[in-house]
Amino acid sequence: MSNDVVNTKNSITDAGEVAPPDRCKSCRLRALDAFRNADTAEAKFIEGQRRERECFERGDVIVHEHERAKFIRTIYSGWAFRFKTLSDGRRQVLNFLLPGDIVGLQEQFSDASLHGVEALTSLSTCSFQPNTLWDMFGQHSRLAFGVTWIAAREEALIDENLLSVGRRSATERIGALYLHLYRRMRQLRLVDSQGWFECPITQTHIADALGLSLVHTQRSLRQLKKLGLYTRDNGKLRIENPRALERIAEYYEQPPRQMPLI
């Protein structure tokens, strides 16, 4: 393949992948309002700033907690998650990262990353030059606006998770999380016609994301399954009755986010 694939200890080549600019065209970022209407100059800028393609395997740590993060990345395919840990090992998953999400935006503004990022699946990312963000703000304000849009969207998403962890019961939390993942995957057109989508998270991840113990997560999960609200099969998840789950989880769909000014 092209020479922009990095082969470190943590990287693999992925023969099935496409090279830019086709890769940029099929990037899930394009599915978001923020970058749907990028013009050619903007696309050229992005492609020019692209540094290399990096691949990771499940379990690889992409960004280490408290370490300086080198550059900004976008997720081309695969899942990851952000997390923080306490000194005695307790871990909190902050949110899950899906294709089209940006990794390392927060870190552009501080010396060290205040959270870690770990791959949940085989992961393919694009990384960018260190000064990309700064240059983008100076030269392509629409793109910069889009990046800030992405940041605001991620914050809204963490707000929702905080509401869950703070005020929802265990089963409500799980229901809300499953609905949330379902909706995001649907938005990315990664839910098939049968309603199935890839969901590579284990019960441990759910527990860490929702502030629960593993054992209690398992019991709450079983309860929801007994109610017939979801089915899992071989790493795939299907929400059987979104409406019912919404009521149980106290988590109703919100109008899609828009880019009012573009």
Partner DNA sequence: CGGGCCATTGACAGTCCTCAAACCGGGTGG
Partner DNA sequence: CCACCCGGTTTGAGGACTGTCAATGGCCCG
In single-letter form, the type of residue at position 21 comes to P
Q: 222 is in the binding site of which of DNA, a copy of itself, none (Cβ under 5 to 8 A by kind)?
A: DNA
Measured from the CB atom, is 24 or 248 closer to DNA?
A: 248
* SS3 (DSSP) at 226: helix
Contact flags string 198-217 toward DNA, x per CB under 7 A: ----xxx------xxxxxxx
Q: Which of 50, 53, 82, 184 binds a copy of itself (CB under 8 A)?
A: 82
Q: 170 is in the binding site of which of DNA, a copy of itself, none (Cβ under 5 to 8 A by kind)?
A: DNA
Measured from the CB atom, is 69 or 181 closer to a copy of itself?
A: 69
The stretch among 24-32, 79-87, 177-185, 187-195 that binds a copy of itself (CB under 8 A) is: 79-87
Distance between start and end Cα atoms, the chain:
37
**Distance of alpha carbon 119 from alpha carbon 250, whole angstroms:** 30
Q: Which of 54, 60, 118, 154 binds a copy of itself (CB under 8 A)?
A: 154
- Sequence-separated (6 or more) residues with CB below 8 Å from residue 258: 33
Does 147 engage in binding with a copy of itself (CB under 8 A)? yes
DSSP of 116-177: EEEESS-EEEEEE-TTHHHHHHHH-HHHHHHHHHHHHHHHHHHHHHHHHHHHS-HHHHHHHH
The residue ranges that bind DNA (CB under 7 A) are 169-171, 202-204, 211-222
